Amino acid sequence: MSDSSHAEPYVRPPSSVALSLENMPQLRLLETLINHMPDFIYVKDSESRFVLCNKAVACCLGIDRPEDALGKTDMEFHSPEKARRYFEDERQVLETGKALVGHEEVVVFPDGTRYWYSSTKVPLTDESGSVVGIIGIGRDITERKRAEDQVKEYAEEMRRRNDELEADLKLAHEFQRAMLPRQLSRIEWRAGGELREFAIERRYIAMSGVSGDFLAVREISDNRLGVLLCDAIGHGVRAALMTAILEGVTKEVKDCGDQPEQLLSVMNGLLGEAFKGPGGGYFVTAVYFLIDLESETVSFARAGHHSPLLQDGENGSVRVLDESRPGPALALLPEMHYRCGRCSLKSGVRLFACTDGLTEAADNGGDQFGEAGILSYLEQHAGDDLSAVCDGLLDEARRFSGKADFDDDVCLVAMSYRSQPLDN
């Protein structure tokens, strides 16, 4: 067998051809590395003259080759003001021996393009530990700064819009407050040697500046009074707009003020038409009272609203005024007919009605203040002034929930009736 069948031994090429790290100068290694990096990398001596820089620095300086910067200072490439700023930063590092880390600055290229760089300059020391120069690294953070500026612009735009919204809500709040009955808080009527008085207290708390609760008090005649309490679905601006519609609707139904069931029926039809449109599902709960001082009666009708409470003037006991099921909320079903209830008024009697922001005030466990909480408080404070009872009832609900504010709009109306002989 021939020797040619055996593989030839591997022969290492001459050292002049082989790539040997041992034979490559360290400076050449460094230059190869830094010239392929996008960051600015440079070394300066104690006089701030370039000793080394990469291609990214050369491009910024407007020169073709990094070696063209060697031995030169920033004064030969930048404006005096900018060069002086760079020089002062470098002198600080050289004199203190402390690094300048993450200093952000704007760099303008020869073509006028502006970039943001994060600059770090650290002291370069010799074998004895003496500072002989600086090593600098600059990283392009332009995109980050642009993103930060954009975020600031968005934040400023959001702040501006929020300010506008706050101003609009404040104005809407004032409009809503203006719609609430202010003057008509008491009605008197003299008949048969008696003075008959009916007084009204109301409390109104908007959860978000504007409210979906609505209260209207109308004088039907010199001895009859209409009180309408409504609660629109939802909160905030949408519910507030619904109350604005309610204000217009109540003016259209003023001729029905002496017939509670008819008033709610007409309102149901008008609101059903007004709330038609995209989305749907809008409705309003309501309770309407007709106070008649001549007959000493109160007539009422309900549309999806919980029952008012009646407090006896003699023993202070409180009961639900209407145990029956209410008719459906307004604007849910067309052509609805509502039932009218009636009870007599005796001197000292009190009536209370509220929206569900009060009854649904809940503690951390989810338990609600509810009708039971209202009943209990009213019976315990039967002898208190009506205004104090209203304020105390709201405070009691806050204590129950453990919160300073309610989670929903609240409207509370308290009414009292009193009759007494006229002085001869």
* Three-class SS of 180-232: CCCCCCEEEEEECCEEEEEEEEEEEECCECECCEEEEEEEEECCEEEEEEEEE
> What is 12-145's CATH superfamily?
PAS domain (3.30.450.20)
CA distances in angstroms from 343 to 314, 321, 349, 374, listed in the order given:
16, 8, 11, 21
Model pTM?
0.63
pLDDT of 20: 43
Q: What share of the chain is helix, strand, coil (3-state, %, to 5)?
A: 35, 30, 35
Give the Cα separation of 50 and 55 in Å (integer). Answer: 13
Give the Cα separation of 160 and 166 in Å (integer). Answer: 10
pLDDT of 17: 38
Q: How confident is the model over 111-151, as pLDDT tens digits? A: 788 888 899 999 999 889 899 999 999 998 989 988 988 99
CA distances in angstroms from 310 to 58, 181, 315, 384, listed in the order given:
90, 22, 12, 16
Range list of β-strands (E), 49-99: 50-53
Give the Cα separation of 94 and 124 in Å (integer). Answer: 9
pLDDT of 186: 81
A 10 A CB-CB count for 134 gives 24
Give the Cα separation of 223 and 342 in Å (integer). Answer: 17
pLDDT under 70: residue ranges of the chain: 1-27, 165-166, 168-184, 208-210, 236, 277-280, 424
pLDDT of 27: 67
pLDDT of 385: 93
DSSP, residue by residue, 367-386:
-B-HHHHHHHHHHHTTTS-H
Q: Does residue 122 sit in helix, strand or coil?
A: strand
Domain locations in the chain?
12-145, 181-421
pLDDT of 259: 94
Give the Cα separation of 72 and 89 in Å (integer). Answer: 17
* Domain 181-421 class, CATH top level: alpha beta
Give the Cα separation of 418 and 148 in Å (integer). Answer: 68
